[in-house]
Amino acid sequence: MSFIKILMLSVILIFGSHMLMSCGGGNAQNENTSSSDSTTVDSSKLGTGAEGESRSGQVNTAETDLIPVEVTTIKRGLISDFILLSTNLETEKMANVYPRVQGLVENILVEEGDFVKKGQVLMTLEADEYVLAEEKARLNYLNQKSDFERMEAMFQQNLLSKEEFETAKYTLQGLEVDWKQAKLNLSYTKITSPIAGVVGDRLIKPGDRIQPTDQLYSVINTTEMIAVVYAPEKELGNVEKDQAAYITSDHLKEERFDGWVKRVSPVVDPKSGTFKITVGVKNKDNKLRSGMFVNTHIITATHENAVLIPKTAIVYENEQLNVYVVKDSIANKVTLKVGFQDHEKVESLEGIKEGDQIIVVGQSGLKDKTKVKIVNERKNELAYRTEN
């Protein structure tokens, strides 16, 4: 009985193990199949994605190849050659104000920066002493005049000698001069401006006792300034009176002030090899100040129909001036042959023609034949700026 139980148990164990192995193998096969199917599907999906990315990549690459730039269209205009010299501005008319008489400062009527007219009263002195002196001189004159009239009547009646009459006449004239001088001294207690202009310095204050040697004010006529410059001897034949000129200032970057050659010295300094040129400048809107550092441009020649290139477009390479001309979305590098030039433009003698589009923003580091995309076109105003 025990033996039979043991045998049956062994058979059951063997059969169960076999069944378990069969089931496990099936699952493995199913898993392999599922894995294979999964791999096939994923590869298909990956293939489609790669193709999509490839197509997208081609579009992005084409877009990034186009370098964004700004351009302007070349025009013709006027440009001048000039002698460029630097100096400090001066005033053509300037006056230091001194008193004619001594006295105490009573009232100050104008301050630094005030505009004054010629003859306008700047300050007054205490005038009491001068009032009394003028009155005394007047009375002396009137008294002598009365005596002279009596003596003149006596002279006509031959009751007075000619010598006495002449002495009385000269005495009267002397007292008249004294009276005029007293009136003049009284008027000098009102100190006036000798020229029209702007008060530059006030050097006194109320209560000061002043002497005729004391400077009181400086008055500057700012309507016309001068720039005194010294040009090399070789330019002597290129400069003459009334020649056109203009000045610029780093402080007033967008301003240009027209002027002219007022005087040309015919003498060359043997030490420096230069000669003096005085350039007159109209002080437009009263923006110029005495002592201001300026650049003086004396125009020596002018081209009226020049091809003008803005300096903002130029790329400097090994002493060559290059620009990039855009044609059919391609930036073509052109080396300029330069004629006249100033602070904002140059004249192109060949290689660039009117109507060409050149790059003014984005050309730095650009290579020849690079594909570009114009994102903005700037207005070219160079042709509308002319010299006088």
DSSP lists the bridge partners of residue 85 as 296
For 19-59, write each residue's pLDDT tens digit: 444 444 444 444 444 434 443 334 333 334 444 444 444 44
The CATH superfamily of 83-89+218-302 is Efflux pump adaptor protein, beta barrel domain (2.40.30.170)
How confident is the model over 256-281, as a mean pLDDT?
95
Q: Are 315 and 335 in contact (CB under 8 A)?
A: no
CA 332 to each of CA 14, 325, 353, 363, 373: distance values in angstroms, whole numbers, following the listed order: 89, 5, 14, 11, 13
Extents of the domains making up the chain: 1-64, 67-78+304-384, 83-89+218-302, 101-210
User: Under CATH, what is the fold of the domain 101-210?
Assistant: Helix Hairpins (1.10.287)
For 183-194, write each residue's pLDDT tens digit: 999 999 999 999
Q: Structure tokens of 165?
A: 């009459």
For 147-193, write each residue's pLDDT tens digit: 999 999 999 999 989 999 999 999 999 999 999 999 999 999 999 99
Res 64 pLDDT > 90: no
Q: Is 358 exposed, middle or buried (0-12, 13-18, 19+ CB in 10 A)?
A: buried
For 109-128, write each residue's pLDDT tens digit: 999 999 999 999 999 999 99
For 289-320, write each residue's pLDDT tens digit: 889 999 999 999 999 899 999 999 999 988 89
CATH of domain 67-78+304-384: 2.40.420.20
